[in-house]
């Protein structure tokens, strides 16, 4: 009888000790989870790429000085059932945050977003440079993907590159997205804009979508004035009907890597597939990424018989129906420019 009583007491003592240990462990865990990393309140940026494993994510946080004990941190993440819910992206975290604060932010996906405006009539190379300036893409990788035939075809584009289909707009991107996702997002915006009605209009004109986008890209490069664009469009349609070369200056320098501000006579004489001073008809593809005004102008040219236009040196243009009138306008423009 005494033996049984002693045994029960030992078991009771063991249970009390175990309970005490568990309570102490829970209190220690609670203290750890709610205590700030330190009191310096330093802001630390951590980038967790897409596809990063849980263990790799913990290592990234540890290397950034945001975790003092990765085993306790990992246990806390698992206890919160958060190990499969950490979102990729760039995070701004403070050393004054507690481990629980950090975990909640990672699960919530409270990442750093970049609002990026892509101006109309930017080329693929210019877009790549702008995105790279935010460190959202690798510039070379982005340009390479834009010309990847298999990837381009998967986006519903009939052409060799995505040039012309990266729709100019203001986007919210984050660093976890990657070049492929960003390209898809911009092309999807193009297809949302270039709707079924516009596609039907292209068919009415006897034009393919690539031809319309190519023409729109030239129109956009020639004029930034919305009201002028249908007139520029009419000039090109009239020239195509008469089998005249389009003779658009921006096409002559499209393949040049550096942006050419002043287009010289030597540029117009270059023998390239895009130079409409030496080729007949439209170039083999767009020379930039046009917005809605240029696309609408390509689909709805003005009802005029203009065949020529020349810059007034203020962004606007003078339009002519005959070569003699055009030459007079060119002479006037050159005279005004010399006076300046």
- Give the integer Cα–Cα distance in Å for 165 and 191: 8
- Give me the residues of the chain with pLDDT under 70, please: 1-34, 257-261, 334-340
Contacts 24+ apart (CB under 8 A), 211-215: 211/282, 212/295, 212/298, 212/299, 213/164, 213/165, 213/286, 213/290, 213/295, 213/298, 214/164, 214/282, 214/283, 214/285, 214/286, 214/287, 215/282, 215/298
Residue 339: the pLDDT is 44
Residue 260: the pLDDT is 58
Residue 311: the pLDDT is 86
Segment 59-77, tens digit of pLDDT: 988 898 888 888 888 888 8
Segment 288-302, tens digit of pLDDT: 999 999 999 999 999
Q: Would you say 210 and 295 are in contact if contact means Cβ atoms under 8 Å apart?
A: no
Domains (range + CATH), the chain: 36-112 (3.30.1490.480), 114-193 (no CATH), 196-306 (no CATH)
Segment 170-181, tens digit of pLDDT: 999 999 899 999
pTM of the model: 0.83
């Amino acid at each position: 009888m005494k033996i049984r009583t002693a045994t029960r007491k030992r078991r009771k003592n063991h249970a009390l000790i175990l309970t005490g240990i568990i309570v102490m462990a829970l209190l220690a865990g609670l203290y750890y989870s709610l205590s700030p990393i330190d009191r310096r309140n330093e802001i630390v940026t951590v980038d967790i790429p897409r596809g990063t494993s849980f263990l790799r994510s913990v290592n990234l946080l540890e290397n950034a000085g945001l975790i003092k004990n990765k085993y306790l941190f990992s246990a806390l993440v698992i206890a919160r059932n958060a190990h499969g819910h950490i979102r990729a992206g760039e995070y701004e975290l403070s050393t004054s945050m507690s481990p629980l604060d950090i975990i909640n932010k990672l699960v919530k996906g409270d990442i750093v977003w970049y609002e990026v405006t892509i101006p109309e009539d930017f080329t693929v190379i210019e877009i790549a440079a702008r995105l790279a300036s935010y460190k959202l893409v690798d510039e070379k990788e982005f340009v390479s993907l834009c010309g990847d035939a298999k990837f381009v075809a998967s986006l519903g584009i009939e052409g060799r590159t995505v040039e012309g289909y990266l729709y100019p707009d203001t986007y919210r991107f984050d660093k976890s997205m990657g070049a492929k996702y960003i390209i898809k997002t911009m092309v999807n915006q193009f297809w949302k804009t270039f709707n079924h009605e516009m596609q039907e209009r292209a068919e009415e004109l006897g034009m393919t979508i690539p031809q319309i986008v190519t023409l729109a890209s030239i129109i956009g490069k020639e004029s930034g004035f919305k009201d002028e664009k249908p007139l520029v469009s009419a000039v090109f349609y009239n020239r195509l009907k008469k089998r005249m070369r389009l003779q658009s200056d921006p096409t002559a320098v499209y393949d040049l890597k550096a942006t050419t501000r002043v287009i010289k006579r030597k540029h117009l004489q270059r023998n390239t597939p895009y130079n409409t001073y030496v080729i007949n008809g439209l170039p083999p593809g767009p020379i930039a990424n046009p917005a809605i005004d240029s696309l609408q102008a390509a689909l709805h040219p003005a009802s005029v018989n203009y065949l020529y236009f020349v810059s007034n040196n203020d962004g606007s243009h003078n339009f002519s129906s005959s070569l003699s009138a055009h030459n007079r306008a060119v002479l006037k423009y050159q005279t005004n420019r010399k006076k300046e």
